[in-house]
Amino acid sequence: MANAPMTARARARAELVEEIKAAGRRQLREVGASELSLRAVARELGMVSSAVYRYFASRDELLTALLVDAYDALGAAAEEAAADRRGGFEARWVRVATAIRAWAVAHPHEYALLYGSPVPGYHAPGDTVPAAARPPIAALGVVADAVAAGEVDESRTVPIPRALRADLARLRADVPGDLPDEVLVRCLYAWTQIFGGLGFELFGHLHNVVEAYDDLFTHQARRAARLVLQGS
């Protein structure tokens, strides 16, 4: 990328796009997604609000850009953790989960943008899907390795309804390995729990209930790993 023949205008444009996104991220950090104001972004950059519309057709378009960037950042963190093959599969799963939490804790507002209530009136366009898929695919990669290594006990099963099996068949085609239904459904369980737990932690639902968030998360990540690998 960055083809050598890049006009001055194009360079300036690319830089300004980045500056706008950076300012948007700052806004996100300070006031949250639904308070993100294009005018404030423009003010921060010393330009007039209408000029920003040359770069992003609407507030939602800026939000989408930030959304994709955030998914990519989270996905990169998860992939990096998954690529570290030290230790057993439980350790690797816990490492991926911990990396996700670390990113989420470091970027709570961006996390809220990704996994919180959708911004009303805003519908994420389809091009966010690939980025959104990176974190779960990274995690499932670890499980696929474990299955391939024969380290997943598939004997402990819970009955799966027919309609759900159809969904799982489609899902299996889109993720690494050739995970059996029972394993897929365990992963779905563990995966949603991670984000339920993170939501509770970051959105304050455990306020005055739990203080040892790190311990709780690690404990539950281990439990999740056991559930995924051994079904218990």
Partner DNA sequence: GCGGTTGAGAGAGCACTGCTCTCGGTTCCT
Partner DNA sequence: AGGAACCGAGAGCAGTGCTCTCTCAACCGC
Residues that bind a copy of itself (CB under 8 A): 31-35, 109, 112-113, 115-121, 124, 129, 132, 156, 158-161, 163-164, 166-167, 170-171, 185, 188-189, 191-197, 199-200, 203-205, 208-212, 215-216, 218-220, 222-224, 226-227, 231-232
226 interacts with DNA by CB under 7 A:
no
How far apart are alpha carbons 38 and 59 in whole angstroms? 6
- Pick one of a copy of itself, DNA, none as the site partner of residue 199 (Cβ within 5 to 8 A by kind): a copy of itself
H or E element in which residue 55 lies: none
Angle at 108 between CA 103 and CA 110, to 5 degrees: 85
Q: Measured from the CB of residue 198, what is the shortest distance to a copy of itself in angstroms?
A: 8
CA distances from 64 to 21, 89, 90, 112 (A): 10, 35, 35, 13
Q: With contact defined as beta carbons under 8 Å apart, do 18 and 29 qualify?
A: no
Supply 96's token pair.
Answer: 């991926």
How far apart are alpha carbons 16 and 39 in whole angstroms? 15
- Pick one of a copy of itself, DNA, none as the site partner of residue 96 (Cβ within 5 to 8 A by kind): none
Q: Dihedral, CA atoms, 214, 217, 219, 224, nearest 10 degrees?
A: -160
Q: Measured from the CB of residue 58, what is the shortest distance to a copy of itself in angstroms?
A: 15
Write out the binding residues for DNA, residues 26-65 only, by CB under 7 A: 36-40, 46-51, 53-55, 57-60
Q: Measured from the CB of residue 75, what is the shortest distance to DNA in angstroms?
A: 27
Residues in the site for DNA, rule: CB under 7 A? 7-10, 12-13, 16, 36-40, 46-51, 53-55, 57-60
